[in-house]
Amino acid sequence: MIKEPKSFALAAFAAVVLGLAGCASQKEPAEQALAAIEKTFAESGAEIQKYLPERHAEVSASIASLREAMAKEKFGDVVSEAGAVQDALRRAVAESRIRHAQVKVEMESEWAELTKSMPGMIAAVDKKIAAQGARPPKGMEKDAWKATIESYDAARDSWSKAAAEITNANFEESVLAARDAKAKIAGIMETLGLKAS
């Protein structure tokens, strides 16, 4: 009767020791798996966030879950879940690159359209401003006319800068700036009742 509790205690102790050893043996693979995932995410996370923001949020949450498991020393969980997170991250990287390429093609078409339409729009507004001089158009207050001219000048300068400085490196930013300039000038034309010449 006395031996049974002792042997039970020894067996329990052995189980605890083996459990700790098992945890310790999982620690290094868990650290390596998490480090590899974090490295890939650090390199590609910005691109994923830009082109696939929802996927970025999903992957980010999964990585946060792995970090939390790591902090709680649940190394087995990290090892077992890391593969799925790594696969999701790889897919997100590949899909964000595909989306990037699609966006570039779309923006190249948009840029071609902008270079055709903007000169006529600018010519129409320039002509109207020259014709009006300091006098506001009928139905417009002097301060509103002055603000309209200032807004137009800023948009025209933004377009000119984008057109003059566009390169492969800043292509998307330049197209976005030009798109914004066109929207502002189109709004001004509508206010003034103008059509592109």
Domain boundary among 99, 134, 163: 99
Quick one: pLDDT at residue 26?
A: 86
DSSP, residue by residue, 19-34: HHHHHHHHHHHHHHHH
Q: Is residue 171 part of a domain?
A: yes
Q: For residue 175, is it within any domain?
A: yes
Indicate whether this model's pTM tops 0.85. no
Do 111 and 93 share a structural domain? Answer: no
Residues 36 and 119 in one domain: no
Query: CA distances (Å), 109 to each of 56, 128, 178, in order?
Result: 27, 29, 13
- Judge if 20 and 71 occupy the same domain: yes
* φ, ψ for residue 73, nearest 5 deg: 60, 30
Same domain, 65 and 125: no
Residue found under tokens 């020259």:
130
Residues 175 and 113 in one domain: yes
Same domain, 72 and 140: no
* Mean pLDDT by groups of 10 residues along the chain of 197 residues: 46 44 73 94 95 96 94 92 94 96 95 95 94 87 92 96 92 94 95 80
- Same domain? For 110 and 146 the reply is yes
- In this prediction, residue 134 carries a pLDDT of 80
pLDDT at 133: 83
* Two tokens, residue 60: 């980010």
User: Number of folded domains in the chain?
Assistant: 2
pLDDT of residue 8: 46
pLDDT at residue 12, rounded to an integer = 45
Query: Cβ(48)–Cβ(96) under 8 Å?
Result: yes
Tell me, yes or no, whether 137 lies in a domain: yes
Same-domain pairing of 132 and 69? no
Domain boundary among 99, 125, 154: 99
Q: Is 122 found in the same domain as 94?
A: no
Tell me, yes or no, whether 197 lies in a domain. no
Contact yes or no for 125/181 (Cβ under 8 A): no
Q: What is the pLDDT of residue 25?
A: 79
Domain boundary among 99, 120, 146: 99
Could you tell me which of 66, 64, 55, 65 has the C-alpha nearest to residue 88? 55
Same domain, yes or no, for 131 and 74? no
Domain that holds residue 35: 3-99
Under DSSP, is residue 193 helix (H, G, I), strand (E, B) or coil?
coil
Query: Looking at the structure, do residues 111 and 161 belong to the same domain, yes or no?
Result: yes
Contacts of 75 (CB under 8 A, 6+ apart): 23, 26, 27, 29, 30, 69
CA 6 to mean position of chain CA atoms: 62
